[in-house]
Structure 1
Amino acid sequence: MTHATYSGIWPVAPTPFHPDGQIDTEGMTRVLDCMIDQGVDGICILANFSEQFLISDEERALLTRLSLEHVAGRVPVIVTISHFATPIAVERARFAKELGADIVMMMPPYHGALLKGTAEQTFEQFRAVGEVGIPIMLQDAPLSGVDLPVPLLVRMAREIEMLKLFKIECPQAAAKLRALIDEGDDAIEGPFDGEEAITLLADLDAGATGTMTSAMMPDLIGPVVRDFLAGNRQAAIEGYARVLPAVNHENRQCGFRSAKAAMVEGGVIASDFCRHPIPPLHPDTRAMLMELLRPLDPMVLSWGK
């Protein structure tokens, strides 16, 4: 049994910077407005595709407050709080809750390639955050390198009351989603996919109710999810086939730089600067991204013009 509250498209908001590397706060508000105008069901901030690993603690606080105040309840907001240290993850959850966040998202505890939480340490960290009293989305992503077998996830879902959502973006995500839903049953309230929707159709077929993509074209991917969940399978397949070349180019060539490049093209933000050591998109890679996006006419390419 899944909950309609946790369905649809909940993309990650990119973090815009000025060319000198400072956060563009006005640009951040425009990013949020552009996403809401595209009919998103929710927004996630401070995630990996927000470049959270390049942002200071002070900037995190600024962006959390700014985003929640500006969205002002128009759509639910997820605040990413991942950290290796459990007390810091708990404090981040408290801060997000105090400011009015609807959900927090976190990966299992890890730091680099070799320092990873065990299954029990992962359970304990999520349980500690759950005691804050805000719904949690667990992010099962390759970046952490932590193995999260389905029995562990089901145990967590059943024993941690606030753990409501599961964003599965590991290899063979559809198979894991299917097993998670089968074994977890009612405890799995919001099975989501990620990775820019590169495996979206398979994941929906496995029972996913939502997706967390980038902010590049949620107005075109959202209808795929809604058609599929409404039983309009062929419409979903056709809609997905239309956007797949751009999704593939984003996922394999651009990463989080794609949404910012599209937002610059559409006048949403003024700069697609990424902090060092992230290099800018190669001009040819960027040109192909636009070549694939323009025929699709996503709102992002005209929103600010």
Structure 2
Amino acid sequence: MSSTTPAAASQSSLNTARGVYTICPTPFHHDGTLDLHSIASLVEFQIAAGVSGLAILGFLGEAHKLSNAERRVVVETFVKCSAGRVPVWVGVRALGLAGAVEQAQEAAQAGAAAIFAAPLDNASDAVQFDYYRALAAALTIPVVIHDFPDSFGTEIKAEVIARLGKEGGVNFIKMEEPPVGQKISRIRDLAGESMRIFGGLGGVYFLEELQRGAVGTMTGFAFPEILVRIYDKFAAGDLAGAAATFDRYCPLIRYEFQPKIGLALRKYVYRKRGVIGCEAIRSPGMRIDPETERELEAVIARVGLSLDQRGALVIE
């Protein structure tokens, strides 16, 4: 039996977390029930694609459409299928501290390596700081700030983020507030090494995020091996190669990250690639029409990819 304590494991996760953490969709059958078989195939695909970790039950994981019992099943299934090969980070969103702690502790008990938590709605800077600090104090796994004002309607100021890194026991952020470059630089100036920054926003600004000092990205994209290749080249010091890969596939990255239909596009591609069995989305959620399907496939072909290929691709 390992002698590693939860606290030591959390610190190890803190020190090593970097790269591409894929925001995974939650697969459903046509009747809207959970598709646990597709969770297994999705996990195997992501690991084959070379991702550093899995992030589940985020905004595009349709967590807000699941029951509490379904949340537990989804977390347990992802953790079981990953089998310790990559860490699983779990999204948390609640109206108050008690609900957030409950969700986070359930995730930790199921084997999650970290949780990423949305801010409280319409809370002051002082309340946000106390919320995240208290959440971190209640857990033995790391807490990641999920900073996404366009979806949550709440801005978390760089000064609050830096204070959380230095005083609050919270040392990760998934930062998705444009203009991303300026905010990343501001956080780094204020927080120094106490805050590790992941980007997001579909990978649209991934190259710039890395150049500003982000350690990776937490985002959904149905060709995660492309993001992995960009990161690997950048991490190896090949900035020109990273930029060339980013530029080649940017039209697809941009197209998939469309507001309102991005999840439908992503599930469509995963289904066509044989990764999940069905592209079903629970209501409310926008579906795509046949013309949009043709448009998406044209963009995929334009960047030199095909939906007929199965398994993770080798990206140059």
Amino acid of the structure 2 residue aligned with 1:218: P
Q: 1:300 to 1:202 in 2, by over 3 A?
A: farther
Q: How does 1:21-100 map to 2 (within 5 A)?
A: 21-100=32-111
Equivalent AA in structure 1 for residue 311 of structure 2:
W
- TM-score, normalising length from structure 1? 0.92
Q: CA–CA distance in 1 between the matches of 2:203 and 2:20?
A: 10
- Report matched runs for 1:263-282 at 5 Å: 263-282=270-289
Paired residues in the alignment total: 295
Distance (whole Å) between structure 1 residues aligned to residue 279 and residue 163 of structure 2: 42
Q: Are residues 1:235 and 2:246 paired?
A: no
Paired with 1:19 and 1:84, the residues of 2 have a C-alpha distance of 31
Task: Check whether the contact 1:219–1:299 (CA below 8 A) recurs between aligned residues.
Answer: no
- Percent of aligned pairs sharing the same letter: 26
Which 5+ residue runs of structure 1 have no aligned equivalent?
111-115
Retained in 2: the 8 A contact 1:217–1:300? Answer: no
How far residue 70 of structure 1 moved from its aligned partner, in angstroms, is: 1.4
Do the aligned partners of residues 4 and 125 (structure 1) sit closer, same or farther apart at CA in structure 2, a change above 3 Å counting? closer
Read off the aligned partner of 1:279 and give its amino acid letter.
M
Give the letter for the 2:229 counterpart: P
User: Any idea what the Cα deviations from partners look like across 1:145-189, whole Å, max 9, x if unmatched?
Assistant: 11211111101111122x12111111201110011112111211x
RMSD value, Cα? 1.8
Moved more, 117-126 or 166-175: 117-126
Q: Secondary structure at the match of 2:243?
A: helix
Residue in structure 1 matched with residue 25 of structure 2 by the alignment: 14
Amino acid of the structure 2 residue aligned with 1:212: M
1:151: which partner in 2? 159
CA distance in 1 between counterparts of 2:131 and 2:18 reads 26
How is 1:160-175 mapped onto 2 (pairs within 5 angstroms)? 160-161=168-169, 163-175=170-182
Residues 177 and 255 of structure 1, relative CA distance in 2, 3 Å threshold: same
1-structure distance, mates of 2:50, 2:284: 33
Unaligned runs of 5+ in 2: 1-13
Choose 295-304 or 207-216, whichever is displaced more. Answer: 295-304
- State the distance in 2 between where 1:300 and 1:176 align: 40
Contact 2:164 2:171 in 1 (8 A): no
Residue among 201, 208, 214 paired with 2:207 = 201
The 2-side partners of 1:238 and 1:298 are apart by 20
Aligned residue for 2:222, secondary structure, equals coil
> What corresponds to 2:299 in structure 1?
292
SS of the aligned residue for 1:252 comes to coil
1:279 Cα offset (Å): 2.5
2:228 corresponds to which of 222, 230, 255: 222
Q: TM-score, normalised by structure 2?
A: 0.89
Deviations 1:14-51 (A, max 9, x none): 11111111111111111111111111000001011111
- CA deviations on 1:48-69 (whole Å, 9 max, x unpaired) are 1111122121111110111111
- How much has 1:286 moved relative to structure 2? 2.0
User: Could you list the runs of 4 or more consecutive aligned residues of structure 1 that deviate by over 4 angstroms after TM superposition?
Assistant: 298-301
